[in-house]
Structure 1
């Protein structure tokens, strides 16, 4: 018997190795194995935040959604299946474009490799039905993760429901690092877990402070949990994976890219009950996290800094233009988190800050990420890496060539130097 064209015994072994309760009960039934394998496959096939994939999986279930792709269902059949499931309709054209961009990544060997690598580093796959699933991410709707790959302890994942996200610039000042340390340690001392992105600067200081205080901390990554990034935080992330949790919606082996960092930020914001920007320049990537927090109705705070410091310009902007609360102490952070839990989402903040932080379209960002300065890559390879249809990739490459960003040669496309 086969599952998705693979031997069922192989699927059972792979799924059992990464199941949440694998240690307690190594045996799982065929239906559970198919569900785990399907959700794991979708983390490889669709880029983070893909709304069509999210809608398809939530409506048809991960297994039937993957079956429709593996068995190359006609789009009319997919539309009919969605209607039978009572789901909101998805335009046939949008489905066709989605299937075109997913098919280049429909490679069973890549999924099997991700499973084996996950088992090697003791990573697990958690699903929305699992008890340790962070319920806050469900507020992302069709942009919510289909599954999450994790390394760490259950207590850290369970603490996300009452956690605080502390984020900030990589190029942090001494003042910013001091405040990050104070807040990370102070919240940990109060029994509150802290969430961040493990980057250099503010993020790293937040995690270190929480660990030093014996608190729980969770790091969300933009690549696979088997390849810690940045490499300079390898020891830090190894420690977090032991006494906290390292989480990603990308399968093992996946490299971090600019697009994936931007999408990772939505998980940091949604999984926590409030987001605090500790230090950020006018165009800091931390403002993207703030935008996601506002979009899902999470309380948003910003730490003021010296008015002469460019490193705090982003925080001041959040306070002045977007009604972020000015926070200067742990008590004020906790007051913000408890007092504004019913905040109304502000879509305009999301749009404004995203436009400021990155003026290129998502498709252009993803194609640029997929290009190499040294190695020429074919359009098909770039499309697979970017998670786009080949036809769409060709159009984006043409635009990037006009801008002098992409260069075509006999062997393929490269990213222009400089």
Structure 2
């Protein structure tokens, strides 16, 4: 089929059925999706692509669910943060609700075989988020993720599921009733994969990346290192998306949390109230921090370096002769601001005014997440 006769939607669906976005990034910078498909068909020696009928395949797949693309109103704009890895499109159930749900999405994810403490934490985090109007977002996996969906449903709020397979079924299969209840409760489900596609290690990893990219914050309840939920957490780090990791318990099942927290790559807290603040986090100059703002991390070229203990700012004028033992060490010739005096440390907390911090503004802390 000539490129000019192929719709963008059909071309994107055809490309997505055969390639990962990163494999096509250079071509898509120069050519339309239809032109890229045509080029790939002509260069494919096996004849596999030439035998594929994009419009017919799309029409058949959309009998199950629609395929949305970046030009659609429902498209989650946050996915653009993935750059060359941005999906070519998404298969969706609950399309008409997707924009509203993704606007306030917060991921709650973790182990498929969690500790009892993690199950309790997942329920508490998801309940607090749902009651505050955030969209609990997770896979359908056993353990933490399914607990999060169930907790959201108990509050009467809709949730969003990201699946590593086609939306003609659930993964795991036993959670088909959970998927149905999410959709019946006003939620939605999305997938990178056309109906009929089975889950695999590759689809699980790619879906974890999309899971994190959709969210305004990610809550890692408990995770073994190198499992699917860790891919979501690591994507959050790469995208500079606020990340909370519940404290590691010493159980090997929290080894992923331990690694992230040891590297100061996540907020360390079991408190659902802090999770409510994370979606409102923003980067600000130290000199612009106001009284009552919550300080989460220092921000540098490599991203956020989270504090072991988030704290409330109380800016004071800089006085190098204050006697705290720290201010006298500041030699920066520029403006300096003191953001705390004695709490949480026993000295002042001076910062060059142009340094960047990840903060939550005081007016967003309707229920303060930390004791002052």
Using structure 1 for the length normalisation, give the TM-score. 0.64
1:367 maps to which residue? none
Decide which moves more: 209-218 or 268-277.
209-218
CA contact (8 A) 2:240 2:303 kept: no
Name the CA shift for 1:283/1:42 in 2 (closer, same or farther; >3 Å): closer
2:126 maps to which residue? 184
Give me the whole-angstrom Cα distance separating, in 2, the residues matched to 1:103 and 1:160: 39
Which of 258, 273, 276 is equivalent to 2:201? 258
2:225 maps to which residue? 282
Shift of 1:220: 1.0
2:75 maps to which residue? 133
CA contact (8 A) 1:269 1:290 kept: yes
Shift of 1:254: 1.0
Name the CA shift for 1:286/1:341 in 2 (closer, same or farther; >3 Å): farther
Shift of 1:153: 4.3
Name the CA shift for 1:341/1:269 in 2 (closer, same or farther; >3 Å): farther
Q: How does 1:204-223 map to 2 (within 5 A)?
A: 204-223=146-165
Q: Quick check: 1:34 aligned with 2:7?
A: yes
1:56 maps to which residue? 27
2:363 maps to which residue? none
Q: Per the alignment, in what secondary structure is the counterpart of residue 229 of structure 1?
A: coil
Number of aligned residues: 290
- The one-character-per-residue Cα deviations of 1:198-243 (angstroms, maximum 9, x if unpaired) are 1111111111111221212111111111122110101101222332
Give me the whole-angstrom Cα distance separating, in 1, the residues matched to 2:79 and 2:47: 27
Shift of 1:112: 3.3
Shift of 1:282: 3.4
Q: Quick check: 1:45 aligned with 2:15?
A: no
Q: Specify the structure having the higher radius of gyration (Cα).
A: 2
Q: Per chain length, whose mean CA-contact separation is higher, i.e. which structure has more relative contact order (CA < 8 Å, sep 6+)?
A: 1
Which of 280, 290, 305 is equivalent to 1:338? 280
Give structure 1 regions of 4+ aligned residues with deviation exceeding 3 angstroms: 102-107, 109-115, 340-349
Give me the whole-angstrom Cα distance separating, in 2, the residues matched to 1:339 and 1:305: 23
Shift of 1:46: 0.7
Higher-helix-fraction structure: 1
2:187 maps to which residue? 244
Shift of 1:127: 0.8
Give me the whole-angstrom Cα distance separating, in 1, the residues matched to 2:169 and 2:183: 12
Give me the whole-angstrom Cα distance separating, in 2, the residues matched to 1:283 and 1:129: 34
- The one-character-per-residue Cα deviations of 1:91-119 (angstroms, maximum 9, x if unpaired) are xxxxxxxx67x964554258734631431
CA contact (8 A) 1:156 1:193 kept: no
Shift of 1:246: 0.9
CA contact (8 A) 2:110 2:220 kept: yes
Name the CA shift for 1:335/1:44 in 2 (closer, same or farther; >3 Å): same
Which of 310, 327, 330 is equivalent to 2:269? 327
2:168 maps to which residue? 226
- The one-character-per-residue Cα deviations of 1:223-273 (angstroms, maximum 9, x if unpaired) are 111122110101101222332111111111111110111111110111101
Using structure 2 for the length normalisation, give the TM-score. 0.71
